Structure 1
């Protein structure tokens, strides 16, 4: 019995000792400096009876420096993993699990088995399963599993650093704009040159990149400090079962604070049916809500009630003053070199200025840095060609495009002798060079040249040209700071020559010259801020008109309107702020100033009197370079987004703009004789304010995006003209222009389906633009001082764009366009005065021409989709204006036997079939 008691006592003592020992092992004492996580684990496991379970890939970048004196193990672990993406979980049986991003729970909650079962989206489960078994090549696996070391190791094991980089297409090294770059729960979007900046924790990270039409890219990163990463993505050409678009891609329009921004991809551009079978940038823009034109074959476009000169049209940052060929029949941009088209109707970035309605930003493709290739198209009236290739493999590339017309064969077959003897031609050349100097410096050169010739009936020759060149230097600083420095030259000129009658033969010339410098900086401060700032400087030089006799026998008297020049400077600041998951704000301020410079002769007029030649009081003379008048002021850019759900948001915006250049035209559409005018002592800069509000809702299950935007604009110092105004070769132009104020308001509704066999969009716009003379000295204000519609006021506009894809080789497209007719002033009576007949006209723009309607159809037939093929080809055929409707371009009147008769002029009064052959090699 005593023996049993001894055994029991020994057992109790052993249990007590074991319990005390177990409790003592939960505290540790150590003093380590810059040890690896593996070494730290070995120290802890020796002092305690705990064992660690972890993935060494998650901890191989950690270096631990800590001191503990009989501290609880849990407290030490909390200190070690603080400010990292790692979590630890301790079980009852002395096991410690280390996890990344997600906290592991070692016990189930008491109500776990009683909780209601939640609904599961089977479609998502299937999609996840399909994605997980997606076939990958050995090369894909090698790239995705390769560990990329970023930065240099330092003492700190925690904290966040900034990774910058570029996303490119591996096929041709073109930058991918709008790609989503994500690390954990943090994501950013690449800009127009494919660059990104994202804040990530130090240590092991998995970076994923997704972009529409591309295979997702995954990279394993070991981040020590800030650094740069270059990522190439592959086109998704093997997955023929369809394109899967994730929520982040679908909801880009929901998430961004910007509103009034429309983007057209080159794929959408080429799907739309257009006249004579060539993809056309401007005609595609005209299908967007809020964008109209005065009629067919008209140069320029109107955005939210603005005039055509209030749009800034950029071609890789070069200003294009005349964006069309043959007076509006064709766009000035070669579709083979265009990468993307983006229109800003509101939320105009603060780096842009000089226009008060919109910015049309046309970006050029990057040339292929791997191999020589090209593309082109041959149509009934035009042909275009593009060639691209490397200048230095993987580091530099070029792309050059050429386009021309051979339309004279049509003119020769016309019955009208006036047109039969006419000739028309144009060409344009686009060039873009890119060179990577090193990982932090890149050089770009863009050039553009276009020329139009049109001779009417062997007599009058019209010529106009665009000449543009710029050089960009992009530099990547440390800590997420980017810079782009741009220097360039823009020129637009036209000439008119008449030589058929030697005694009245003449030449008329006009030109604009713009020299500019830009310094643009972008700085990412965490993932909540994206800060932009910079400087823009423009030097402008205009020759408003040089009228000279053409030949020694001409009796024409020469006239030269004095040269104008001025300098425009601007600085800007902007920040994109993610306040929280629901609220985001983009705020910017641009401060611009313009100074009109001599040499110049300035007329002064008697105070309080109407500006007229009879009221000239004095003449002031300014020397070359001497300041004449300076205008300046702030321009506010503010937009905000509030997310209602993952698929819905509301946005609001407010912006102001100033415009120091004005186009003078008393015709409804742009013509070759239109001139530009700088602000001066008498003509003030135009000023615009806009407020806008929008609601955006996506339906992901059906891949449908919807939006409604309303806006209201105030226009000040808008230039209108007196009745019978003379604008060409007028040395006193300020006497024939009227300062006007105006309002423009409207609502835009859009439904868009981006993917699927059936895709396209429907848009409806209601808009009004009303003007009113705003000058108390004018003796005869327009419409007696009451408001009247602008020449481009078209209240209702409907666009329907539909594409149906039967297979990967065959698709059809249908475009339907309707709009209210534009305003017009009509003669309404004849009366006798002073022994002669006089015509009495209605109020300005009191009536309208008939409404506009057009439907177009096209079919695209692709060649086989074999990857390894010498050349790929396709055919585009269809009909422009399939209903053969005679839409009136203008209405004019003649008097026959004292009776006024009206006539309609239609540009395309019949259906026009087309066929185009496209190729790519």
Structure 2
């Protein structure tokens, strides 16, 4: 028979589907091994079949003509019993071979092949249940080095040689999927992945293990929202920023503090993007909660080094947060309640498979907790509230074009006493157009508006009562293009432009009895435009390089008036040389320059790679604050004729490997960073309502260096990560102050310099429904300046202070624990509930938030530490999905 001849003469085994056997398929061949497959297909196609050769095996399959844009809805099966699986029959031996699909997806037209004989396959990977795009799914071809990872839109692009391939799709939390494709030319294939219910006894490798080794990018931390929801946090509220603080190289100055510090950078040196909009204050309730609703957030990416050329405007890091598009299949939602907050969200299709929406909101009822705080905290018996609303919609115009509309609003208000109140708001709106112009070229164009403002009011003394306001507005346009030139080069290029409109302060009397004189500082305007281009160059299977160049141009704009000062002497009213007036719309003083980005990766094998990189950055806006953390009274200042932009560079190198049978990812990174034109302040500097702030700030340079090690186990019964960071951050004033520089012009520790930092985030699953989570956080105490003694001068006592930041507060340690009860997997239920029970600061350690001093008890100076959460805080949260 035919199969016997194939085996004896050509050494081939042939597999037929049952339908071919029942059709009494007949084939007549007279050929050799060299052109056997071509001749066989010529015969089979007459009967509606197709042959594919894999080494010594020949598979005869049903033909599905044309290009498949999406998998059939019944592609995935829950069956694990081979007796009910689709099978092919080995006629000559009677064996069964289980396969996932007896189809080959034919892609493209042979006449469209270019790029050195390779075709480009593109497509979207989506969640089968909701239709939402899946981020970070790896797409790899067997027997080739071709590799791709889906972006924030679920889009992938991979170059392939013409012929037969098995594409492997791997995504965290989803079934691994292998698809057989026949590539004839450029084309597209959309894929639906099914969520996986993991066996607790099995070990499953996720796409992340591969990405960490294959990607040229270093210093990138990607966190998925499902992990955030299992990390214990204060009062049980899942928190985006708190999970960021568990990553190596990321620190904060203390508990309940806003902002974060990345690799020695200040809090204003982080670009925080939410759906492409800039967030200037990312926290609620004095830093206790982040400003982002975890039920809306889809993914979080933190770039700590070798930042891609498409990003700019800050010199330390980029935190990019994207919201979900919403369920494209049906209306779903959730609601939750905890000790301090309540929330809900709703999502679904407006027009199925065409228009989706998602909306969520949160609020708080937190006044009762303030009454429990220490009397000397300044918060006791105060009141506080916050609200935030996030909304988004997507409109799929056609298979190649989609529009996205996103909006965000948050408001915080609090009062420390009956007399003083504070409030601040964030507002962001953006419209995005994503277009796949061809299989090798796509673009994303975004236009948007950002607004941040705060108000403070003090009516304690009617004669001196006042209201003060600050705001910053900005409009922006970003155009980003991605071009797959060939299998070796992928080019990214584009343009970013921002227009700033900033009111540094308005002071008004509050009440008829107030004698405060109205004052309004001149409005500041500025424009920033940058062009960039980058190339990801895959030199060979082991070696790849990513290069980028960004050129930025910034200038403050008129109309404005500014002073020039005599060089070599401190800026003051006495050293003014001239006063310059700039007309409306004219450049005050342009600042421009290149920013370089380069990184390289060398893979020794599939489980070990090394990377190195360098990037330089520029920053044209500064935060002015007299606190070590972000606070509601911080103001922002545009660079102008007297205050130059900040600049910095960082060099980094790292080792990356998978160990213990690829169950654990191990990474070790080291870095060195320098910063210029950082703003520090003279002693006694006035920050608010200062029309000539350049006279009270000092040009400062900084340096930071450190090493980070991280063990990550993404899956299994026990999962999580452990990270240790050793780092130092030093500053030195270099201004022309004849009256003296801080610490005599010597290097001193930055206020956020914390050399040792150790963190554990762990989750252990007993069953599919019950798990426990543990969070451990240890850090060296931050530097402080303390009074050393008192001396008598001018009919009164004065304090003699130490060098700046010469001492440290006690080390920080906190351990949190929670029990998580997940919903049942019974799909017939209309609602699914989740309960979390936990304790924040389970050891009750009284960590120092700040230090204050008693200088009134005789000649002795006594220091006291202030703790915000000095006792264990139990909590319970209840969430329901429908």
| 2:723 aligned with 1:723 | no
> CA, structure 1 residues 98+409, in 2 after alignment: closer, same or farther (shift >3 Å)?
closer
Greater Rg by CA? 1
Whole-angstrom distance in 1 between the partners of 2:730 and 2:878: 45
The equivalent residue for 1:316 is: 275
SS at match of 1:701: coil
1:346 counterpart (260, 285, 305): 305
Matched, 1:254 2:213: yes
- Label 1:291 to 1:156 Cα distance change in 2 as closer, same or farther (>3 A): closer
Q: CA deviation at 1:547?
A: 0.5
1:678 aligns with 2:638: yes
Matched residue SS, 1:268: helix
2:403 alignment partner, SS class: strand
Contact 1:60 1:204 (8 Å CA) reproduced: no
Correspondent of 2:585 among 625, 632, 641: 625
- Per the alignment, residue 359 of structure 1 pairs with 318
Q: Secondary structure at the match of 1:267?
A: helix
CA contact 2:201–2:717 (8 Å) conserved in 1: no
Q: 1:168 aligns with which of 110, 115, 126?
A: 126
Q: Which residue of 1 aligns with 2:359?
A: 400
The DSSP-based 3-state class of the residue aligned with 1:208 is strand
Hey, what's the Cα distance between the residues in 2 that align with 1:793 and 1:413? Answer: 31
1:913 corresponds to 2:871 = no
The residue number in structure 1 matching 2:814 is: 854
| Distance across 2 between alignment mates of 1:389 and 1:825 | 54
1:789 aligned to 2:772? Answer: no
The partner residue of 1:708 within 625, 644, 668 is 668
The TM-score with structure 2 as length reference comes to 0.88
2:411 aligned partner = 451
Q: Paired residue for 2:598?
A: 638
SS of alignment partner, residue 471 of structure 1 = strand
Q: CA 1:247–1:453 in structure 2 vs 1: closer, same or farther (change >3 Å)?
A: closer
Residue 209 in structure 1 maps to residue 169 in structure 2: yes
Secondary structure at the counterpart of residue 888 of structure 1: coil
CA contact (8 A) 2:545 2:600 kept: yes
Deviation at 1:251, TM superposition (A): 2.6
**For residues 34 and 568 of structure 2, what CA distance do their matches in structure 1 show?**
94
Rounded Cα–Cα distance in structure 1 between residues aligned with 2:102 and 2:304: 44
Offset, 1:376: 2.6
Segments of structure 1 that go 5 or more residues without pairing to the other structure are 1-41, 64-96, 106-129
Is 1:328 paired with 2:311?
no
Secondary structure (helix, strand or coil) at the match of 2:242 reads helix
| Cα distance, 1:55 vs structure 2 | 8.0
> What is the DSSP-based 3-state SS (H/G/I as helix, E as strand, rest coil) of the residue aligned with 1:309?
helix
Find the aligned partners of 1:407 and 1:509 in 2 and give their Cα distance: 25
C-alpha change, 1:522 and 1:58, in structure 2 (3 Å) is farther
For 1:631 and 1:209, locate their aligned partners in 2 and report how far apart those are by CA, in whole Å.
46
Cα distance in 1 between the residues matched to 2:44 and 2:520? 74
Q: Map residues 410-449 of structure 1 onto 2, 5 A cutoff.
A: 410-411=369-370, 421-449=381-409
Show CA shifts across 1:566-600 (max 9, x none).
00000111111111111111111111110111111
SS at match of 2:778: strand
SS at match of 1:726: coil
Cα offsets for 1:144-180 (capped at 9, x unmatched): 4455454456498994321211111111112111212
* Equivalent-residue separation in structure 1 for 2:466 and 2:676 (angstroms): 38
Shift of 1:832: 2.2
Structure 2 matches for 1:646-665, cutoff 5 A?
646-665=606-625
State the Cα distance separating 1:837 from its structure 2 match: 1.9
Q: Distance in 2 between matches of 1:528 and 1:410?
A: 58
CA contact (8 A) 1:144 1:217 kept: no
**Other-structure match for 2:185:** 225
User: Displacement, 1:360?
Assistant: 0.8
Q: Which residue of 2 aligns with 1:904?
A: 865
Asked whether the equivalents of residues 658 and 665 of structure 2 are also in contact (C-alpha less than 8 Å), the reply is yes
Q: Residue 866 and residue 620 in structure 1: after superposition, are their counterparts in 2 closer, same or farther (change >3 A)?
A: same
1:338-378 Cα distance to aligned partner (Å, 9 max, x none): 11111111021111100011111112112001000012321
Q: Which of these residues, 575, 580, 586, is aligned with residue 615 of structure 1? A: 575
Q: Which residue of 2 aligns with 1:494?
A: 454
CA contact (8 A) 2:200 2:716 kept: no
Q: Could you tell me which of 885, 889, 892 is aligned with 2:845?
A: 885
Q: How has the CA–CA distance of structure 1 residues 501 and 253 changed in structure 2, closer, same or farther, with 3 Å as cutoff?
A: same
SS in 2 for 1:581: coil
Secondary structure of 1:706's partner?
strand
Structure showing the higher helix proportion among its residues:
1
How far, CA to CA, are the matches of 1:729 and 1:288 in structure 2? 37
- Aligned equivalents of 2:256, 2:193: Cα separation in 1: 40
**1:52 Cα deviation after fit:** 6.7
> Normalization by structure 1: what TM-score?
0.85
Greater shift in the superposed pair: 544-553 or 765-774: 544-553
Q: Distance in 2 between matches of 1:588 and 1:327?
A: 38
**Would the alpha carbon gap of residues 267 and 102 (structure 1) be closer, same or farther in structure 2, given more than 3 Å must change?**
same
Any idea what the Cα deviations from partners look like across 1:505-536, whole Å, max 9, x if unmatched?
21110001110000000111233222111100
- Is the CA contact (8 Å cut-off) linking 1:226 and 1:478 kept in structure 2? no
Q: 1:705 to 1:412 in 2, by over 3 A?
A: closer
Are the aligned partners of 2:126 and 2:134 in contact in 1 as well (CA < 8 Å)? Answer: yes
State the partner residue of 1:554: 514
Partner residue of 1:68?
none
How many correspondences in the alignment? 819
2:801 counterpart residue number: 841
Q: Alpha-carbon deviation of 1:504? A: 2.1
- Encode CA deviations 1:467-495: one digit per residue, 9 max, x unaligned: 00101000111241010000000110000
Aligned with 1:829 (options 779, 789, 807): 789
Tell me: CA distance 1:472–1:142, structure 2 relative to 1, closer, same or farther (3 Å): farther
Q: Name the SS of the counterpart of 2:683 in structure 1.
A: coil
Offset at residue 240 of structure 1 (A): 3.6
1:270 paired to 2:209 = no
Q: Quick one: structure 1 residues 589 and 134, their matched pair in 2 at CA, closer, same or farther if it must change by over 3 Å?
A: farther
Task: Give me the whole-angstrom Cα distance separating, in 2, the residues matched to 1:358 and 1:134.
Answer: 54
**For the Cα contact (< 8 Å) 2:552–2:593, is it kept in 1?**
yes
- For 1:30, the equivalent position in structure 2 comes to none
In the alignment, what sits opposite 2:337? 378
CA drift at 1:607: 2.7
Could you tell me which residue of structure 2 aligns to residue 183 of structure 1?
141
Pick which of 178-187 and 434-443 moved more.
178-187
In 2: Cα distance, 1:272 partner to 1:56 partner: 60
Q: Is the 8 A contact 1:178 1:211 kept in 2?
A: yes
CA shift, 1:428, in A, is: 0.4
From 531, 534, 537, the equivalent of 1:574 is 534
Q: CA deviation at 1:247?
A: 7.8
Cα distance in 2 for partners of 1:558, 1:311 equals 34
**8 A contact 1:690–1:714 mirrored in 2:** yes
Q: State the distance in 1 between where 2:409 and 2:159 align.
A: 42
1:461 aligns with 2:421: yes
Offset at residue 44 of structure 1 (A): 12
- Cα RMSD after superposing both structures: 2.9
Distance across 1 between alignment mates of 2:266 and 2:289:
20
Say if 2:722 and 2:760, in contact at 8 Å, map to a contact too: yes
